[in-house]
A and B are shown apart, each in its own frame.
Chain A
Amino acid sequence: MSKNIILCGVGGQGTILASRLIAAAAMHRNIPVKTAETIGMAQRGGSVFSHLRLGDGAHSPLIAKGFADLIIGFEPGETVRQLPFLKKDGVVVVSSRPVMPVNAMIGKTAYDPEQMITYLQENTKHLHVVDADKAAQELGSYKILNVVLLGAALQSGELGLIEEDLEAAVQEKVPEKFLELNRKALVWSRDCKA
């Protein structure tokens, strides 16, 4: 098994924890894993990404353009930014909820999130848009978006892992008081099919 996965979003959205969870889940299954992440200045509301390489045969921690099996997008515009990395027939799981940059709010640059979703629909064969507002409403928090997206990615089959692996990872990495919410999020995302 070998999988190239990209997580992307905006600093502060929880992409790093999500990447740790996938890595822990892979280790639970004894699958070798390498990752590369954005840390530092870019975290302050900037674009962030994690590259994950699961399985044997990967030397570098970065994925080449056109070689990602799966993109897990925490934000529509950021997902479009990473789309060149997706392989032909690759899968995209994306949250519908935009994060408006300050630049757009003060009218310096334009950003139309709906155009991003349309672009993704037109240019990917396997797209699953996760209704983040609905998820937050039903689960009670936007903070759980990362696990919801992981659950949706799991359902797509492209993660190369099973729910049990992810549950074990959540158990290992998530603080006790958030465990129940995280488990609920995984169950919630069972209905997400890419």
Chain B
Amino acid sequence: MHDEFLMGNEAIALGALAAGVNLVSGYPGTPSTEVLETIAKRNPGNVYVEWSINEKAGMEVAAGAAYTGARTLVTMKQVGLNVASDPLMSLEYIGVKGGMVVLVADDPGPISSQTEQDTRTFGMFSKVPVFDPCSVAEAYEMIQEAFDFSEKYGTPVFFRATTRVDHGYEAIMVKDPEEYIVHKPEGFVKDSSRWVIFPRLSVQNHARIEKRNEELKDILSGYHRNRIVPEPGESCRKGIATQGVNFMYTLDSLQGRNTRVLKVATPFPFPEKLALEFLEGLDEVLCIEELDPVIERTLTFICGKYGLKVKILGKKSGHIPPSGENTLEIVQKAITAFAGAPECTGGEEPQPLPEPPALPVRPPVLCAGCPHRASFYAVKMAMRGKKTIYCGDIGCYTLGNAAPLDMCDTCLCMGAGIGIAQGVQHMEPDTKCFAFVGDSTFFASGITGTINAFYNQSDMTLVVLDNSTTAMTGHQPHPGTGRTVMGQIVEKVSIEKVLRAIGLQTVETVDPLEFDLAVETVKRVASEPGVKAIIFRSPCIAITKPKEHSRVDQEKCIACGKCIRELGCPALMRDTRFGESENAGKAMIDESLCTGCTLCEQICPVKAISGGRRPS
């Protein structure tokens, strides 16, 4: 054992390695990405790791390996689970031989997701048991227990953590690689009565799963991470039932109050016996949780089932916010409203601050030098005056929606823009429909939509923004990059060839930073009938080295502000250093941000900007 300062996701990865995981697959998505990356980085050498092309592929790969008796881990964010839900729903009926942990990172807030869905609810829906850790330290231990549990009961299990655990850091004790379990899979044993799902098998297995999950309620009542603090028996009239990081907020907020706390580590199957011990003698319970009111509903159910006169409060009663992320203040306030003021306070109530001046508004923006800016601006210029719709997608390029570009009219989920463009086009044939999709998103879920468009005779322009990486989540490889997370150099999958194989006649590749050519290409391609594609290919600035930044010749600059106003590049600003002098309001460039992409040089009406050399 040794101590390390670890991110929650790193701790989960090291826990999986310590449990002898044999195969890890997944698709990147905040806040889950670092789990698989850490496995790849700390691989003792005997673990197969892959970034799958999407969560469904990852789930199936992990399931297949678990059929052989291997211990497997598949990682994704909560919306990725929607993509993987088809195989998972059926897999629960089939079961696994080796331990299989489905790691899903939930995102209360949401901080970087489309939805605030709760994987605990998905556990109930899919009948898959759920583990819910409260801290980095607990996550490290719990994932090892989750593998044992999965193997023992022959079911995949959810390991769902939320952002504050995934992205929290803590110094914890972890095993040395010599201490890792070595798990040797038995191999796949043919048995079509076990591995082939037919209605007859489903009838049988469904009954078995329901019975097992009832039994697990008792078994999990004895799981030491489900617990009551202080020990039952203390006389309390009020209780708090909580989970995950909310348990830590609760501990920080109790401040000597005489309140019994139930920590729920397995929300499904719910530790019913333990809950009954907890409820014994209580008048009221406040449920402190994020996302869905899972504990609140279950305790309400238990009170009904056993005829207990305990009032269950939480999201449904208005005592906890129904949506959004909980903070320490929210929990403190809720506990004070529920249990009265604390006996001892930890700090002094600060003086309320006067209203501050207008704070800077900082929505996330495309980086300085980002090639997506040039792509969006080229389409915008080419289509000026035309009736258009720009269907966006999930990735850095969603940020194309911000002013001044304003080039993202819709965004729904991975790959959806391609389908949405078709739907709009069928109803509004006079609208020029564009779908923008990133390279990684194209491989993840853009191909089926493109085939649909082609086969069903749509009329639209597919714009693939190929920056040769999965930028938003931290530069993971994908089929177009020619490398794998295991470090192999492999044959690239060509986006052009895929599109041509589907049948598209017009597939043009252009560097968006060759601005005039890019505009001309868009005009030409968009005027053709049917489904056609433009691939804007230019690498993400984060994977290239800047060479020379651009400079503004303030003698030439006429302070028209076009570069600043039209591009919204973070490196471009008005020079305010000269007050009322003649240089006031002229453009200037922040050298520390400029990558020398030269887009501003190319659009300056008086050629006052020069000197940039494109990164490579």
For A, the interface residue count at a CB cutoff of 8 angstroms equals: 63
The residue in chain A whose Cβ has the minimal distance to the Cβ of B253 is A64
| Interchain CB contact under 8 A, A41 and B360 | no
Report B413 CB to chain A, min CB distance, Å: 15
Verify A33–B364 contact, CB threshold 8 A. Answer: no
B350 touches A104 (CB 8 A): no
A-B contact count (CB 8 A): 172
Evaluate contact between A46 and B362: CB separation under 8 angstroms: yes
* Structural contact, B248 and A61, CB atoms closer than 8 A: yes
Which residues does chain B contribute within 8 Å of A102, judged by CB atoms?
Answer: 365, 402-403, 568-570
Q: Does A86 lie within 8 Å of B350, measured CB to CB?
A: yes
Most chain B Cβ neighbours within 10 Å, of A27, A102, A104: A102
> Which B residues touch A103, using CB under 8 A?
360-363, 403
* Pairwise interchain contact A10-B362, C-beta atoms closer than 8 A: yes
Contact B164 A143 (CB under 8 A): no
The answer to whether A108 has its CB under 8 Å from any CB of chain B is yes
| B364/A80 in contact, CB under 8 A | no
Question: A77 contacts B396, CB within 8 Å?
Answer: no
B347 CB contact (under 8 Å) in A41, A66, A115: A66
B192 in the interface (beta carbon within 8 A): no
Check A65 against B329 for contact (C-beta < 8 Å). Answer: yes
Tell me the B1-47 residues at the A interface (CB within 8 Å). Answer: 3, 5, 30-31
Is the CB–CB distance between A106 and B564 below 8 Å? yes
Our pick among A10, A36, A41, A45 for the contact of B164 (Cβ within 8 Å) is A36
Residue in A closest to B165 when the chains form the complex, CB atoms: A61
A101 to B359, CA, bound (A): 11
**A38 to B346 CA separation, bound complex (whole angstroms):** 26
Mark interface residues in A98-110 (1 if CB within 8 Å of B CB, else 0): 1111111111111
Contacts of A130 in B (CB 8 A): none
Partner of A44, one of B3, B347, B399, B592: B399
List the A side residues contacting B170 at CB < 8 Å. 33-35, 61
CB distance from A193 to the nearest CB of B (A): 24
Give Cα A27 to B170, complex, Å: 10
> Within the complex, what minimum Cβ distance (angstroms) separates A109 from chain B?
5
Option from A43, A64, A107 in Cβ contact (under 8 Å) with B252: A64
Give the nearest-CB partner of A109 in chain B.
Answer: B361
* Interface bracket on B: 35 or more
Query: Complex Cα distance A102/B367, Å?
Result: 11
Q: Is A81 an interface residue (CB 8 A)?
A: yes
A33 and B347 form a contact (CB under 8 A): no
Scan residues 99-129 of chain A and give those whose CB is less than 8 A from a CB of chain B. Answer: 99-112, 115-116, 119, 122-123
- Whether B167 pairs with A88 at a CB distance below 8 angstroms is no
Say if the beta carbon of B104 comes within 8 Å of chain A: no
Q: Is B175 an interface residue (CB 8 A)?
A: no
A32 CB-CB contact with B under 8 Å: yes
- Bound together, the chains give a CA A42 to CA B329 distance in angstroms of 22
Q: How far is the CB of A173 from chain B (nearest CB, A)?
A: 10
Q: Which of A40, A111, A115, A142 contacts B111 (CB 8 A)?
A: A40
A11 to B347, CA, bound (A): 31
Given A60-B248, A102-B568, also A43-B169 (CB < 8 A) = no
Q: Once bound together, how far apart are the Cα atoms of A81 and B353, in whole Å?
A: 11
Q: In the bound complex, do residue A84 and residue B353 qualify as a contact, i.e. CB atoms below 8 Å apart?
A: yes
A142 near B592 with CB under 8 A, answer: yes
Do B169 and A44 touch (CB < 8 A)?
no
Report yes or no: A83 in contact with B353, Cβ–Cβ below 8 A.
yes
Whether, in the assembled complex, A155 has its beta carbon less than 8 Å from a beta carbon of chain B, the answer is no
- CB of B328 within 8 A of CB of A62, answer yes
A37 at interface by CB-CB < 8 Å: yes
Contact B168 A34 (CB under 8 A): yes
- B498 at the A/B interface (Cβ < 8 Å)? no
The answer for the CA separation of A38 and B171 in the assembled complex, in Å, is 19
Asked whether A44 and B367 contact (CB < 8 A) given A33-B171, A61-B245, A109-B361, the answer is yes
Top 7 A-B pairs, shortest CB-CB distance: A60-B248, A40-B30, A40-B112, A44-B364, A64-B328, A66-B350, A41-B112
27 residue pairs bridging A and B, Cβ less than 8 Å apart: A10-B362, A23-B5, A27-B171, A33-B170, A37-B169, A38-B111, A40-B473, A41-B111, A44-B364, A46-B363, A59-B248, A60-B249, A60-B252, A61-B164, A61-B248, A67-B346, A80-B356, A88-B348, A101-B360, A101-B362, A102-B403, A103-B363, A104-B361, A105-B568, A105-B573, A106-B404, A106-B565
Q: A33-B170, A60-B245 are in contact. List 7 more A-B contacts (CB 8 A).
A: A20-B5, A45-B364, A47-B362, A61-B248, A77-B359, A81-B356, A109-B361
